[in-house]
Amino acid sequence: MPRILVVDDEPLISMLVENWLGELGCEVVGPARTVADGLALADGQLDGAILDVNLAGGTCYPLANALRSRGVPLAFATGDGGLDEGEGFEDPILLPKPFDFENVKETLEALLEQSRKVRLTS
């Protein structure tokens, strides 16, 4: 069962994503509401992470960088269409807001594909 970390500071949004990931056969890690909470939950084996870009006055980039250094595939949830180019995430997986089931499913498939590639090269 794939393990996916969900980080979003909006409880209703994270519950919705958590339910959909459960329907898609995933174990949800979290949801976390802050970067610090996400880092605390990221110690175990993860197959991917869905990170809200804007978290309560900050951004998810410190967590994203920590996960990237561990080889965890990332998807960025955003309602404004993109990422800060200065953060160095080239060709990111984006999950546009507002969410729908099909977009979450496609995002999960992309994360799991990247996870398989990481395992093959490790």
The residue extents of the domains of the chain are 3-121
| pTM of the predicted structure, to 2 decimals | 0.94
Paired sense of beta strands 58-59 and 54-55, if any: antiparallel
* Mean pLDDT, rounded, of the chain: 91
Question: What pLDDT sits at residue 81?
Answer: 65
Rounded distance, CA 14 to CA 30, Å? 9
Residue 98: is the preceding peptide bond cis (ω within 30°)? Answer: yes
SS3 35: helix
Residues of the chain under the 50 pLDDT cut: none
Domain 3-121 classification at class level: alpha beta
The pLDDT assigned to 83 comes to: 77
- pLDDT score recorded for residue 86: 65
Q: Residue 95 pairs with which residues in a beta bridge?
A: 77
